[in-house]
Chain A
């Protein structure tokens, strides 16, 4: 049963804090570097090379970044498909974070494309090559970004007082919500399918072949829940509001079930392919594999009971670990486990890193701005401490 007292409202308050100034600076640095990249090429700014043609701008900004932006997807799935209305207050903030996460993931793709002025070819018949996994990922992500802006439009329309438009939109919203569940299911799983064509160039610990879409989809939804817990906690702490543990705890229970299912799938996949042996070799791949597994297995222990899930600290720690786990699964698959051949080396350059950091900073800054000026968060519930 929905809670009547949670009608969203702008947070208000000053945008200019030391924190937002820091965020602004980092964003500006990223902007300058990107301008330089525009005029002097990728090589002038990144450490990309032909052994590692995809660096952190793809592996993190796009693949991990979009997975971290699955909060909206996870919440839409819960609230509108499985009809768990009690999570409704979490929808808009999650959607906002997703909106920016995905928009910036999409922007990162453009920044990374070498011949970016041709990017419209992906959508154009005659150019579009429909057998390519990347085609499907690009089209679905682009469509999803549009859908999310539409899904979030009510918040803008509310602020701008366009009630008629808002009502008309509300009548059609269910269709966009349905799309907003289908599209991420497609592209988040396909982000995993991208690895299939690399065949044995991906280390056996991450080359799950036909199971890749399922593994990436499950972790995307897991990450969606984890990110919601993470951002809700940070929001409450940062804006000095009451913690939303009563809502987050049962959410965590659902997350827990999915986590258990995922760990089973992942371990079975490794066993059935006979890949587990390589986890015991003295290699960096084996090391990072165990770190990744730990990030999934530790929350299985720490969030096992209802009581544990009511602890805000444990919830937050568990969410962070899951985020790290999902991050590592993707970084390991695309970079650490990408066996490009002997002799090649890659580590992101400082400029490359600052762009990623700057984009995240920009995302947070935009989130803070929107939340302060538009009705996103539930109405003021000051922290009781």
Chain B
């Protein structure tokens, strides 16, 4: 059915396929998968295909600060398309400390020239938290403080994307007592940015956001924390495959117990699904299907993407439930019950009417007869 949207003979499709050195089918599958991840309606994959075919590869600067590089690793696991296809041919990844060939001063020079050449048009992706304590001395790259580097790169960027929980809100480095003052990108820049939280986030959350930007020239709809709603619009608890167990009161109480083996709800083991906004349960990790995520593997969600939950609340501490306002079908304090009967009411009215009428008539007739005279004495 994809064939109906893109003409076989279109030169554009052939060009793209040739440039990416993948066959047309694979390319179209990528477009369809991305569109599905974004929750876009059918037909959007055509728009994506058209956008990708454009010769211009936008420049991307990727900064690393207080991070474990897990987010980049997560991206490396992406398969549709494979990351090398995307970063080499769809976008121009001009600066990425882990993946770029250059090192040292060469790398920094490459960054500066890319920023100059694409001024106002490059996408800035930040991975890792930025320490702000003691003037930000706790993280330096090439002698530059992280905080300065971020401000410098963000100044001329077309869009800033915070990749991972660390860049989104501080993440693991910001765990109490947070001696280095690890902060998220938005806090440092003082303005909202797009955030893709998670530890690591699903790579397709990032990829779909980037491709949306490329296709439509703007970012997908985001919430008040900058998270794209297509991925972070619902709490895990609302689309968890073990929700039925929660609703029926079936819980695992200990790792390895009967309930745990049967796949019961992990709420009592501290699952933070009820207060974490993410889509882990829907798309899973590692491209092996939606049943590959922590809860499905038997470990409670730790709320890694949620500020105030992940790396803040103990892993086995009971979660607070968010969004539990009852749906319309939930029984209310007062429910209308019992039956009345119109037919019966009519019948009763008829009977009562007849009786009243009869009684009135009889009384009247009796009244017509003479009053009985007072009994004489002695009778």
A residues near B (Cβ < 8 Å) are: 47, 49-52, 233-234, 237, 243, 245-246, 249, 306-307, 310-317, 320, 341-350, 352-353, 357, 385
Contact = CB atoms under 8 A, between A and B. Distances in A.
Given A345-B339, A346-B339, 7 more contacts: A47-B339, A47-B341, A49-B339, A312-B367, A313-B365, A345-B336, A348-B344
A245 B371 CA distance: 9
A315 B363 CA distance: 8
Contacts of A316: 359, 362-363, 366
Interface in B101-127: none
B11 interface: no
A51 B338 CA distance: 7
Q: 7 smallest A-B Cβ distances: which pairs?
A: A313-B367, A347-B340, A313-B366, A345-B338, A312-B366, A317-B363, A49-B338
A368 to B, nearest CB: 17
Contacts of B336: 343, 345
Interface in B328-379: 334-341, 343-345, 347-348, 351, 359-360, 362-369, 371-375
A52 B334 CA distance: 15
B344 A353 contact: yes
A353 B341 CA distance: 11
A49 B351 CA distance: 25
B341 A350 contact: yes
Contacts of B359: 316-317, 320
A49 B348 CA distance: 20
A245 B339 contact: no
A312 B369 contact: yes
A265 B285 CA distance: 82
Contacts of A342: 334
B372 A246 contact: yes
A311 B337 contact: no
A311 B344 contact: no
Contact of A343 (B334, B366, B368, B371): B334
Interface string B310-339: 000000000000000000000000111111
Contacts of B365: 313
B351 A320 contact: no
Given A317-B363, A347-B344, A349-B341, A245 B334 contact: no
With most chain A CB atoms within 10 A of its CB, the pick from B347, B363, B368 is B363
B349 to A, nearest CB: 11
Nearest to B375: A246
A235 B369 CA distance: 17
Contacts of B363: 313-314, 316-317, 320
B374 A306 contact: yes
Interface residues of B, number: 29
A249 B371 CA distance: 11
7 contacts: A47-B341, A234-B362, A310-B371, A313-B366, A349-B339, A352-B344, A353-B351
B294 to A, nearest CB: 44
Contact of A313 (B335, B339, B364, B374): B364
Contact of B368 (A313, A317, A348): A313
Contacts of B337: 49-51, 343-345
A314 B372 contact: no
A49 B341 CA distance: 13
A320 B355 CA distance: 10
Nearest to A349: B341
Given A312-B372, A316-B363, A353 B340 contact: no
Contacts of B341: 47, 347-350
A310 B372 contact: yes
A261 to B, nearest CB: 25
B102 to A, nearest CB: 75
Contacts of B345: 347
B334 A249 contact: no
Contacts of B371: 307, 310-311
B37 to A, nearest CB: 47
A349 B372 contact: no
Contacts of A307: 371
A304 to B, nearest CB: 15
A227 B360 CA distance: 16
A312 B373 CA distance: 12
A60 B188 CA distance: 80
A321 B343 CA distance: 27
Contacts of B351: 353, 357
A358 B343 CA distance: 17
B348 A353 contact: yes
A385 B372 CA distance: 13
A225 B335 CA distance: 45
Contacts of A243: 366, 369, 372
Contacts of A350: 341, 343-344, 347
A243 B366 CA distance: 9
A47 B340 contact: yes
Nearest to A311: B371
B372 A245 contact: yes
Nearest to A250: B375
Interface in B203-236: none
A271 to B, nearest CB: 31
Contacts of B338: 47, 49, 51-52, 344-346
Nearest to A306: B374
Contact of B362 (A47, A237, A306, A341): A237
B348 to A, nearest CB: 6
